[in-house]
Structure 1
């Protein structure tokens, strides 16, 4: 038996938010929990699919005007994350969650649903969404695609282009622009700062505290951007070895 749980301020402390559920006392988990409690007041939706009482995946989405991705849109629903793991895969749970989001958007009178996907890592690939009537409408470096499912002929969301110009504002050393939207970011920041110290590279961390800052970040992912000497090195958490390799490639 499976069940779709609508998570909100009234039950999030009990149900959690799927990610890092084995480490509820960690800083990353607690930061995300606090972030969610604020976002629920801005109409963020979080749905978890449970099988026999065990969580197998989730979907998180919110209105385009307040979404935490590098896009600009009016009257759309933006999916932040859709994730099914382990033995939950292949049972149609992803389809059920996506259809729930689409139906919710229709009921709210939205003009459609959009999501940023990636052909590489950390974000979902677009192929699954194409089966539900999504179409690719734009690309952004290094590997992002904006996909949209339209309900009407109103203007669709667009990328907030100008990535290189925004990254070039941070020209010295390593700058980490991060939010609490993803609980894994906290540990990723620690790794990057350790590498910076070991290599005697100047570093700084800047918190993204509202959706406007995330929408105008130097990458389309928005909520996590690691910049070295004016260029984005990664938008997703990496291991210590991976980050050292990125710096080596950059000529440090």
Structure 2
């Protein structure tokens, strides 16, 4: 039997939010859990699709006014995360979840549904959404802003964030939020890497949707690593991978 679970304040402790279910006591899981409970008050929706009691995928979305992506999309519903796993792919589960999001956006009188995509990192891949009628409405570097518009007079757009990394010229600066439960491990990896390299590290905690929208160095709005004024990644990595990234950057700078 296939069913869609609407996660709310009453059942989130039971069903979780799909990610990291095997580590409910971890720091990342608990921070995300607290984040979810606060965001539910702002209209956050998490829908988990499951078959015979096994979770197969989920969608997380929120009205654009409160999105944790660095986009101006106040008249849109914004999808944060969208994931169908393994053998659940190709069976219409993603379409069911997306259609529910689209229907809700229409019911609320919004101008459409939007999301940030990228071929890198953990952002959704645009190909599925293109098949559903989404079109690219803005692009900066590898980030593309996709939208399904009900009102052609209203378009979401990226905030002008591209130069903000240059403000952080010394050492490592990490922008992070609790929207993704995997970020806490990545931050620890960076701190350990910085100690091995004897490089200072600064953590900037994006603790509100307004900060995530307007201060994030990338549209991801969840995690970005800056080294000496330059973005080196927005994807969580192992400690050794971070060390290799920084050493490579030093070689390129000094060559």
Instruction: State the alpha-carbon separation in 1 of the partners of residues 113 and 153 from structure 2.
Output: 12
CA deviation map 1:230-249 (0-9, x unaligned): 11111120122321221122
User: For the residues of structure 2 that align with 1:162 and 1:21, how far apart are their CA atoms?
Assistant: 33
Number of aligned positions between the proteins: 250
Higher mean C-alpha deviation, range 213-222 or range 242-251? 242-251
1:212 aligns with 2:210: yes
Who is 1:149 aligned against?
148
1:25-76 CA-partner distances (Å, limit 9, x unpaired): 0000000000000000000010000110111110000011110001012210
Match of 1:29 in 2: 29
Distance 1:121 1:171 in 2: 24
Preserved contact between residue 4 and residue 49 of structure 1 (Cα < 8 Å): yes
TM-score, normalised via structure 1 length:
0.96
Give 1:3 deviation, angstroms. Answer: 0.4
Following superposition of structure 1 onto structure 2, how do residues 130-209 of structure 1 map, counting pairs within 5 Å? 130-141=130-141, 143-164=142-163, 166-209=164-207
- Secondary structure of the residue aligned to 2:167 is coil
Tell me the alpha carbon deviations over residues 104-163 of structure 1, each in whole angstroms, 9 at most, x when there is no partner: 11111110000000122311111100111100111122x110000001133211000232
Helix, strand or coil at the partner of 1:181: coil
CA contact (8 A) 2:47 2:58 kept: yes
Give distance in 1, aligned partners of 2:105 and 2:45: 11
Runs of 4+ in 1 over 6 A off after TM superposition: none
Taking only aligned residues, the RMSD between alpha carbons, in angstroms, comes to: 1.1
Structure 1's unaligned 5+ residue stretches are none
Structure 2 unpaired stretches of 5+: none
Contact 2:71 2:156 in 1 (8 A): yes
> 1:64, 1:76 within 8 Å by CA — same for their partners in 2?
yes
Match of residue 116 from structure 1: 116
Range that drifts further, 25-34 or 242-251: 242-251
Question: Could you tell me which residue of structure 2 aligns to residue 49 of structure 1?
Answer: 49
1:78 alignment partner, SS class:
strand
Is the 8 Å Cα contact of residues 135 and 149 (structure 1) preserved in structure 2?
Answer: yes
Match of 2:105 in 1: 105
Q: Normalising by the residue count of structure 2, what TM-score does the alignment of the two structures yield?
A: 0.95
* Partners of 2:32 and 2:178 within 8 A in 1: yes
Q: Is the 8 A contact 2:49 2:55 kept in 1?
A: yes
**Is the 1:74–1:156 contact (alpha carbons within 8 Å) kept by the matching residues of 2?**
no
Deviations 1:185-234 (A, max 9, x none): 00000111111000000011121110111112110101111111111111
